[in-house]
Amino acid sequence: MQPGLYHILFISAALFFIGVYGFFTRRNLITMLMSIELILNSVNLNFIAFNKYLWPEKMDGLFFTVFIIAIAAAEAAVAIAIIINLYRSHHSIDVEQAEELKN
Amino acid sequence: MTDFITLMKHELLITVIIFLLLFVKIGKGMKNENLLTLIQVLLLLNAIAGFFFNESGSLFADMFYTSPLVAFQKNVLNIGVYLISLLFGDWLKKTPHLPEFFILLLSALLGMFLLISSGNLLIFYLALELATIPVAAMANFDLAKKRSSEGAMKMILSSAFSSGILLFGISLIYGATGTISFGELVNQINGSPLQVLAFVFFFSAFAFKLSIVPFHFWTADVYEGSPIATTSFLSVISKGAVAFIFITALYRVFGGLYEIWYWMLAVLAVLTMLTGNLFALRQQNIKRFLAFSSIAQVGFILVAISGNYTAGTSSVVYFVLIYIFSNLAAFGVAAVIAEKTGKENIDDYKGLYKTNPFLSWVLALGLFSLAGIPPTAGFFGKLFLLTAGAEKGNFWLIIIAGLNMVISLYYYLKVVRAIFMDKNENPIEPIQVSASVKLGMIICALGIVFTGLAGKLFDYIQSLIA
């Protein structure tokens, strides 16, 4: 059976919500970052699928995906630098430990 | 080629300054004081140059467009950045990585310029990332402080999450319409369920960046943890830039969904104003206090946006200009006091007038203007915002906004009372304010007093919207 647009959209929507769920429930910073990567990859799948099935004559979706991958790398680099610095001062990468700022 | 240079003038100037700073960093030949003076002069020239030769036009197959209005918005942001370089001189001189700080700050500013000018969702997304990632690094600039890295962590995680949501929205928009160019999108928006869902995702990403209420949780922590220079950049320049593109995106791209987002805006405006105000009431730390007050101000901006395009744009641009002066005045005084004494609590400000009359007057002017008390510019800013909101004829929204102004009056005046009237056994000792910081504060004070009285300015902004 040839996979259709709906199959791919189903997978990408599932990935998106797994990412959102992980972001809200996980307390480890690296895992939270991984959840965000999941969200971004679900978006990539979306773009590719729409491009292939609905608008094959225009390449907008493909280009967008390439840019998302590049930006995600930059974002992860900065986030990991910040997390390393946080680890130096807190000796932990658990968000529950980072609680100096409270109202 | 000449087109390219005149239309992208603002961006090119910023890029040149960034490159200059990179070379300075490599050369290692300058003291912090001299370098800061150089940066201030460059930013002043940059701000002045922004006012000349502004034309309309678009480049790169409509991915980038500019007009006198867009140029004016960029000039407003330029002025704000120049003031930041003046006001936070004391802290900037001490930091061991001065060139890096300005490289990051100007990169974020470049991102905001591209954001305001974007005519395509791809450029929009890239510019938005360029405008947020460097700010997260700036938030971590007090490397040794726990709070700073904690604030930066919250900032980068929440902004990455919000951009993930934004991208999901964009991908659905692309699926529903087959285009990512603003010009083509306008004709494709017809209110189908998929488009509405995509729009909700898109909208909530904006809500994150503007800290509209259900998405405001990161704001106070990031503001308190970051160095004050970063906090002020985040609360003034970044908010302003996102508010500008927000109006354009709503009216110029999603104008077809007006009926839907009008109610979203109205409800969120009420929630934002109320939450911002009620939380600001109980804050003790001055940075946290200003964070919640800035959330409340965004609520007023939303009221104006809900009116119509012309009135909304002109009043928001005008308000952001005033907001830059008034908020930077308040942040500038807080920064000087925190730098010299380490005190950030409102209780410590009691009796400030006895020892530091100049600082007290500047802070009081800034707070009066934020509260919107008549002779200051803040009053006219708020007046035009609410008038713009009333265009739709929805008066209950305006009444709630008016009531919120009364609540905000209470907490702003509480700080003013602490400064001028409360007695204190050991007030903050007299502080020697350096010349450049003083210059920045005087510019802010003059801006607060005269922007409101110069009615020509508002007419000028209105004339830019063709």
The yes-or-no verdict on residue B1 having pLDDT over 80 is no
Q: Judging by beta carbons within 10 Å of its beta carbon (0-12, 13-18, 19+), is residue B437 exposed, middle or buried?
A: buried
Cβ distance of B149 and A82 shorter than 8 Å: yes
Q: At residue A27, does pLDDT exceed 90?
A: no
- The SS3 call for residue A27 is coil
Write the secondary structure of B105-148 as one string of H (helix), E (strand) and C (coil). Answer: HHHHHHHHHHHHHECEHHHHHHHHHHHHHHHHHHHCCCCCCHHH
pLDDT band at B129 (very low <50, low <70, confident <90, very high): very high
Residue B79 is predicted with a pLDDT of 93
**Per-residue confidence at B141, pLDDT binned at 50, 70, 90?**
confident
pLDDT in tens, B324-338: 999 999 999 988 888
Task: For residue A58, give the nearest of B150, B172, B178 by CB distance.
Answer: B178
> How far is it, in rounded angstroms, from Cα A13 to Cα A31?
20
Contact A59/B at CB under 8 A: no
Highest average pLDDT, of A38-42, B28-32, B396-400, comes from A38-42
Residue B63, pLDDT score: 87
**What pLDDT sits at residue B242?**
92
Least confident stretch, A5-9, A84-88, B195-199, B421-425:
B421-425
Per-residue model confidence (pLDDT) at position B130: 93
Q: Rounded mean pLDDT of A15-32?
A: 91
Whether residue A103 is predicted with pLDDT greater than 60 in this model: the reply is no
Average pLDDT, chain B: 88
Q: Which of A19, A55, A82 sits opposite B156 (nearest CB)?
A: A82
For B294, the domain range is 2-464
All structural domains of chain A:
5-97 (1.10.287.3510)
- Give pLDDT, residue B283: 85
Number of domains in chain B: 1
Question: Chain A residues with CB inside 8 Å of B171's CB?
Answer: 43, 46-47, 50, 61, 64
CA distance between the termini of chain A = 56
Q: What's the whole-number mean pLDDT along residues B282-308?
A: 89
Q: In the prediction, which pLDDT does A102 show? A: 62
Q: How far apart are CA B434 and CA B184, in angstroms?
A: 53
Distance CA B322, CA B452 (A): 8
**Which pLDDT value is given to residue B49?**
87
Q: pLDDT by residue (tens digit) across B95-116?
A: 888 888 999 999 999 999 999 9
Whether B126 and A55 lie within 8 Å, measured CB to CB: no
Tens digit of each residue's pLDDT (9 = 90 or more) over B53-68: 878 888 888 888 888 8
pLDDT band per the 50, 70, 90 thresholds, residue A101: low
Nearest C-alpha of chain B: how many angstroms from A2?
20
pLDDT (tens digit per residue) in B216-240: 888 888 988 888 899 999 999 999 9
Eight-state DSSP code of residue B464: H
* Residue bearing tokens 């409340």: B296
Q: Are B337 and B343 in contact (CB under 8 A)?
A: yes
B238, exposed or middle or buried, with CB in 10 Å at 0-12, 13-18, 19+? buried
Cβ-Cβ contacts under 8 Å for B290 (sequence gap 6 or more)? B223, B231, B235, B327, B330, B331, B334
- Chain B residues closer than 8 Å to A32 by CB: 157
Q: Which residues of A touch B157 (CB under 8 A)?
A: 29, 32-33, 36, 79
Chain B residue nearest residue A53, CA to CA: B175
What residues contact residue B195 under an 8 Å CB cut-off, 6+ apart? B172, B173, B176, B177, B189, B257
pLDDT at B308: 85
Q: Which residues have a Cβ under 8 Å from the Cβ of B199 and sit 6 or more positions away?
A: B169, B173, B254, B257, B260, B261
- Looking only at the bridges linking them, the beta strands covering B57-59 and B64-66 are antiparallel
